[in-house]
Structure 1
Amino acid sequence: MNHINLGKSGILGSEVALGCMRMNALSEKEAQTMIETAVEHGINFFDHADIYGKGESEKIFANALKNSSIKREDIILQSKCGIGDKMYDFSKSHILQAVDGILERLQTDYLDILLLHRPDPLMEPEEVAEAFSELQDAGKVRQFGVSNFHPYQVELVQKFVSQKLIVNQLQFSIAHTGMIDFGMHVNMKDERSINHDGGILEYSRLHDITIQAWSPFQYGFFEGVFIDDPKFPELNEKLGQLAQAQGVSKEAVATAWILRHPAKIQVIAGTMNPERLKKITEASKVSLTRRDWYDIYFAAGNDLP
C-alpha cells in the first residue's frame, strides 16, 4: 500500500483509508475483524465523524481496537465535527465540546486530524481559530482540515487559523466527476461546464491540500453503488475488462482510477465487508495508462468538448 503525505504535513496516510460511518451496524467482534483486515492489507488511516451512528461508530471502533493487538500510535485517527441537530455549528464552544466527546468515545488522548464537517454559514472564523489553537496547545489535535468546502470557504478559515489546513474531504468517484468535468469543459455552453465547486481540485493542488474522496463507488447522493449496477453497463464492462487483464476486482480498478490522478487523492472506502475491503486494497497493484483512465471516464457516460 502506497502512502500519501497529507498536505505535506509529514503525516503519511495509506492511499486507501477506511471510512467508519457504518461501523455502528457491526458488533464489536465484527468491527475488530474489519479493523484488523484493514491493517493487514496496508491501511493505517481511519476516518470518523461525531455524527456517524450518533457517536456509536466511534465507540464500537474504540472497543474493537482495544481488543486487538493494534497500537494506537501505529494508526492515524481522523474525525469530523460541526453537524448538529438540523443545523451546522462551528462555534468555539461546540467545537471544543465535540472534540472532547470524540476523544472520550474513541478512548484516545488525541486526534491526528480534525475536520470541520460541511460549511456553517454562521461561522465566525475567529472562533474557529481560537478553538483550533486551544485544541492543538492542549495536545488534543495534531492537524486540521475541512470537508465539503469550496475554495473561498477554505480561504476564509485559513485567513484566521494559524494552522495549515491539510485536508478537504469531497465526494468523488467515476460516476461523480464534477471536479474534473468543469476543468475540461471551460468556456463551453454545456452542462459539464458548470462550476459546482469553485475549482476546488486545482485550488487544492496549488495550496498543498489533500483531497479525500468520499463515496468512491457511489453515484448521485447515496443513490447506489455503480459496481455491477445494470444502470452502468458500459462502465462495468470496461472495469471488468481491465480487472480481468490485471487479475484484480472491479472495485480495485475503480479505486485505481481515482488514485491515478496526479493530485494524489486519498480514497475513503466506507465498506464494512472485510472481503470487499481486500478487493479495494488491491488498487495499489493496478497500473492504468492514460488511455485506460480516459476509457473508464467515457464508459461512465462522460465526454470531451
Structure 2
Amino acid sequence: MNKPVLPVTYEQLDHWIESLQPALLDEGFSAVAGILRGGAPLALMVSHAVGLPVAFLRYERATREVTWDSSLPMPVPGSKILLCEDIAGRGFTLVDCIAFLERHGLVVRTLTGAFDELSRTKPDFSLDARGYFALFPWERQAHTARYRDDWTASEAGRRAPMADDHDYATYAIDLDGILLPDVPSARYDADLEAALNERDLLLPFETLPGIDLQHTRAIVTGRPEMDRARTQAWLDRHGFGHLELVMRAAGLHDHTPAGAAAHKAAAVLCCGVTHFIESDPVQAILISQQAPLLRVIWWDAIAHSGTLVGASAWR
C-alpha cells in the first residue's frame, strides 16, 4: 500500500449522506440495497436519511455469485433501486451486483463511500479518493501487518479464509502512566538527573490495562530518544524488553502535550495497530483527532479504568 491513507469516519459518511438527501429523494428510489458487508452501513444510513426500505446482497468473490440476502422481496421489475458499497474497486463486486439486479428488471443507481483511479466503474454518488487509499471504520484492521499478510495469502489461494475482524486487533501502549507511575513534571524541572534516577528505580504497576501483551506491537513513548538506553534497561529488567520501543525525536516534536501527541499519532500509524492506550487525557484527545480511525483508550492507572476517546475539531 504505497498511497497515503485517507481515513473516512462514520461521522463524515453520515454528514455526506445527509447532504445528499434532496438528490436521493428526487430519484424516487423504491429501496436501497447494501452489498454485505462493506455496503451495509451506507445502505442503513441512506435508509434513515430518506426513509427507504433496506435490503442486502451477498457476493461470493471466488465464484462471483450474487444472491438477494433479505427478508424483503425483491422490488418489481421497472423499480429503481440504490445499490451501496464501500469502495468502487478494481474488482468485479460492484459490476456483478449491478448486472444481477438489472437481470431482474431493476433500474440501478450506485452509491459508494469512495472511488479511485483503479475503480472499474464510477458510481453515481461517491467521494473522490483518487490518489489515496480510502480506509473505512469497519476495516481499520486492514492497516495491520497480519491482516495484509493473510489477505495476500488468501488471494493467492495459499491459506484458508480470513480470520474474524476482531482477531486482528493489535495494540501499542504508552509507557509512563501505563506500565509504571509518572514522575511529576515539577521534579524534572527541579533536578533532572535526580528525577531520572528516581524513575529508573520505579516498579511496574501491579494492575496493568487488561490487554494481552502477545497482541501488543510496540511501546510508543514521549520520552526523548536520548533516554533510550536507560528506558530499554528498565523494560528488560521488568520483562517488557521484547516489545518494540518507539521514542520521540526531539528535533521533530517537542515535549509539550501537542508535540508528544503528534509524535505518538504518527508513530502509532506507522506501527500499523488498531488500538493505542494513552495515559494522558489531553494527549488522548489530540491523538484521536490526528488518527480518527485508531481506537484510542485513555487509561486511568489510579482508578484502573479505561475510556474510549473520540474527537473531532469543533469549528
One fold, TM greater than 0.5?
A: no
Q: Which has the higher contact order (CA 8 A, sep 6+)?
A: 1
Max Rg structure:
2
> TM-score, structure 1 length as denominator?
0.30
Q: Could you say which structure has the higher helix fraction?
A: 1
